[in-house]
Structure 1
């Protein structure tokens, strides 16, 4: 059976467009709205092997990760300082915003990053909780892929509101010992 030339001319471009549009649509959807961690699909052929990121508004760690993700995005490329300010209003306590403004005037740096620059990546891990607060560790990644450097922050959140109430520089973790062990 031969395919008529007109079907080939219209069908092939449509098939190619559809095959390219499906993976793009998978990346375009952002569950949870703006600033929420997105589900990332690395291969349309094997979705089970794709890494996924989940989030919950009741998780302090997830809220800190959502804040840092959205804040970095707002200040990367075409800087959107209005969005960055709105994110601060939404995720930080009023008292902390006031202290942060004072710190920023004194240090001439962005208090969220404790730097004048914007990091290229971040990682948030749960650290501890008690006395109405939870602490997360934020690792900021600087430099390029071949030579990354890291800074670490401890972020305090109020458990009752899930709002960030303090950010402090944290010491760089010491590398894990290799081989030998203790003697």
Structure 2
């Protein structure tokens, strides 16, 4: 059986205690935790809000990598057919990506729930472009979990 030395166990305990103290300080002061704090992402295939976040994360990755085939497949899977047609018209008129409402790819993204009602769930997608941000309002159908609306 593998055993850690007493010195190594003590070092690990000190590191864990220091990390917990840094996190407690960050929470108490309203600052962010240290870079060594673990990150997590969670979701559910049953939730329409999770589907919005999953779509934007995957879609931005595909566009960033220049993988148009995957981007098209993601649109086909996550977006309702009427929205796909609406985006095509918007893109033809605006010469930009209708999902991102831009001609390039954001450096960062964040999806925030803005509530649910009348069979729909709503979210705001915040896209960060260097020092600027834009917001996109997205709506998904709770039953089908398809994204049905993307607006500025």
With normalisation by structure 2, the TM-score equals: 0.74
What is the CA–CA distance in structure 1 between the aligned matches of 2:74 and 2:88, rounded to whole Å? Answer: 14
Partner residue in 1 for 2:134: 151
Alignment of 1:22-41 (within 5 A): none
The size of the alignment, in residue pairs, is 118
What is the CA–CA distance in structure 2 between the aligned matches of 1:65 and 1:121, rounded to whole Å? Answer: 13
Bigger Rg, structure 1 or 2: 1
Off by >2 Å, runs of 4+ in structure 1: none
Mind listing any 5+ residue stretches in structure 2 that lack a counterpart? Answer: 1-34
Partner residue in 2 for 1:96: 83
> In proportion to residue count, which structure has more helix?
2
The CA deviation at 1:120 is: 1.3
Q: Does 1:50 find its partner at 2:38?
A: yes
Mind listing any 5+ residue stretches in structure 1 that lack a counterpart? Answer: 1-41, 44-48, 170-183
- Which has the bigger relative contact order, CA under 8 A and spacing at least 6? 2
Whether contact under 8 Å (2:47, 2:142) holds in the other structure is: no
**Root-mean-square deviation (CA), in Å?**
1.2
What is the CA–CA distance in structure 2 between the aligned matches of 1:53 and 1:149, rounded to whole Å? Answer: 24
Q: Does 1:75 find its partner at 2:91?
A: no
With normalisation by structure 1, the TM-score equals: 0.62
